[in-house]
Structure 1
Amino acid sequence: MNDRMMKAGILSGAMTALLLTAAPARATEGGGSAYPHGAEGWMTGMLPPEGTYLLNYSTYNSADRLNDGDGEQVPVDFQVEAFANTVRFVHVTDKKILGGTYAFQVLVPLVDVSVDMRERRDHRAGLGDIVVDPFILGWHFDKLHIAAGVDIILPTGRYNKDALANIGRNYVTFEPAVAITYHDPKGPELSAKLMYDMSTRNKATDYQSGNEFHVDFAAGWNFPKSSLGVAGYYNRQTTDDRQGGMVVGDGNRGTAFAIGPTVKVQAGKVPIMLTWQHEVVARNRSQGDKLWIKAIFSLGGGQ
């Protein structure tokens, strides 16, 4: 397997894609999180060699229930389907800072979301919220790899405060991230990307979503031309949602845990990852399933 492409799982990153309603009180805010949980898995802490890379994420998300703060289903008809394709450009330089390699990235999502809820149906499609990270550092220690950065999720997607489905969130989110990978090319792999989201206020609704801690993870075994394992995510909101300076309801603190099988194969020089994730725990949010297909392409520019 081409070592250059094997290392293209890379760093901290985020894309804004699936903007789902999380609970009736949060319907106008798009609900859920600014980050699409579960986007990263294999090799997420491995910054690739110097050069330019294109990563393509395609995802399908479906949910047919809303849960309250105890994880019990809210008695309301609900169905959401979301498709997204995100293109992520990463450039890794030859510069070293604090012993780490300097890189930067931008992510551009195209989103299609449909929501049925309480005899209402809404559909939106188009450009989602673009993500930029102008400062990423990556370190390599034999089989251990670490990457860190701060993603900035920008309100570029279309937003309407009266809509049930939105493809933009109408506020900025700052997301510090640290990704760690233990990678043995002929043995085990453990990867985790830890993030903390801090969102600004939505000026259209005077609503501010609470801060969130979340982690994407993967664990598996690497074979010569493929890898098998499990992948998922854990999300916990750490502060209350507020509107007009007041706590909304019980704070709408969401929690989620998802897990499922994942496989990585090599198609020529292009690594392709396929992952299915089922949410086994969901509180103050929607509950459903996600399917991810991720491919990594080297655009050259390095040694």
Structure 2
Amino acid sequence: MHPTSSRLRALALTSSLLLTAHAPWLQASEGGVSSWPMGIELYGMGILPPPGTYAQVFVGNYLADSLRDDAGRRTARIDLRVTSVVPRFVWVTEQQVLGAQLGFHALLPLNDIRLNIQNGPHDHKRGIGDAHLGPVLGFHHSDKFHSALGVDFVLPSGGEYDKNDLINLGNHYYTVQAVYAMTYTDPQGFNADVRLMHDYNFENRATHYQSGRELHADYSLGWGVGNDWVIGVGGHAYQQISDDKCSVTDCAAAAQVQASDGHRGRSFSIGPAVQFSSKQGWSLSAKWQDESAVRNRAEGQTYWLKFTSAL
């Protein structure tokens, strides 16, 4: 693999908060959303690049038209649109820890959220979402097989929060996300990636609501067709693995959680994906993914663009 191409295809271990809409009428993991934008990562998500400083810009557009309940039935027709621009900076140090590269990353998303409920209210907000930051260790097992281990901290920095508003720019609670990612890459052959994540969500002090723990994975499969192109598919798998909770006895949500088996969410997505890595020091990837098997969450489709460059 060309050193520059490897460097650019590598930068995808941890990423951004692109979807942080909070809507009281949604279900599962308070507001029906998670700190992680499901399926955002693409090829090379388990490779940490050589020491240096890197910049990425993610552009995402999520469109949802329905809300699904415990049984997958549509409970409401909606028009939810979340557009995000997210700058992310990564610093890979010269330091070695346990035989791995040590790196750090930080990002702060800019979100535009529009929500209309059929025969109901609507809302629109634009501003800063919740920040992500954390350390990462990158392991290089061979020229083609790589892995990475990290912890992400999600900070409730998403502007002014009002529990009575239909949507908010941030979730208003802390999340700790454990991450393990693996990549097998071949510029002239098979490519496979998976990023496994476990989220622990702390209580939202404004609502006394605590979203359950979440287990999810981004994945991609592709084929290197030469000339620095990879073409294939990608998406996500998501399952909430513990119940939502409400810590006060008069919380209206508490009865709803108990009545619906903890409001545990679930979803799956797949769609086409493509990536180009130039020898001049940048890369561009694009994907579209459609959600299915959705429970207790909004159901829709997502478009992603990601631009990466060494600084």
TM range (shorter): over 0.9
Aligned residue for 1:37? 38
TM-score, normalised to structure 1's length? 0.93
List per-residue Cα deviations over 1:117-149 (Å, max 9, x = no partner): 25201111101001010x210000111100110
Aligned pair count reads: 297
Q: What 5-or-longer segments of structure 1 have no aligned partner? A: none
- Distance in structure 1 (CA, Å) of the matches to 2:190 and 2:236: 19
Alignment of 1:1-303 (within 5 A): 2-8=2-8, 9-20=10-21, 24=25, 26=27, 29-74=30-75, 76-117=76-117, 118-133=119-134, 135-142=135-142, 143-158=144-159, 159-224=161-226, 225-244=228-247, 246=254, 248=257, 249-250=259-260, 251-267=262-278, 268-299=280-311
Greater mean alpha carbon deviation, residues 160-169 or residues 57-66: 160-169
- Distance in structure 2 (CA, Å) of the matches to 1:149 and 1:223: 31
Displacement of 1:55: 1.0
C-alpha RMSD over aligned residues: 1.8
- Distance in structure 2 (CA, Å) of the matches to 1:175 and 1:31: 18
Query: What letter is aligned with 1:116?
Result: N
- Distance in structure 1 (CA, Å) of the matches to 2:43 and 2:50: 17
Query: What letter is aligned with 1:42?
Result: Y
Greater helix share, structure number? 2
Contact 1:86–1:109 (8 Å) recurs in 2: yes
List per-residue Cα deviations over 1:153-185 (Å, max 9, x = no partner): 000002210111111111100000001001112
Contact 1:43–1:191 (8 Å) recurs in 2: yes
Contact 1:112–1:124 (8 Å) recurs in 2: yes
Contact 2:21–2:170 (8 Å) recurs in 1: no
Q: What 5-or-longer segments of structure 2 have no aligned partner? A: 249-253
Displacement of 1:26: 3.8
Contact 2:12–2:41 (8 Å) recurs in 1: no
Query: What letter is aligned with 2:239?
Result: R
Greater mean alpha carbon deviation, residues 64-73 or residues 263-272: 263-272
Give identity over the alignment, percent: 35
Displacement of 1:286: 0.3
Aligned in 2, Cα 1:90/1:180: closer, same or farther, shift over 3 Å? Answer: same
Greater mean alpha carbon deviation, residues 82-91 or residues 6-15: 6-15
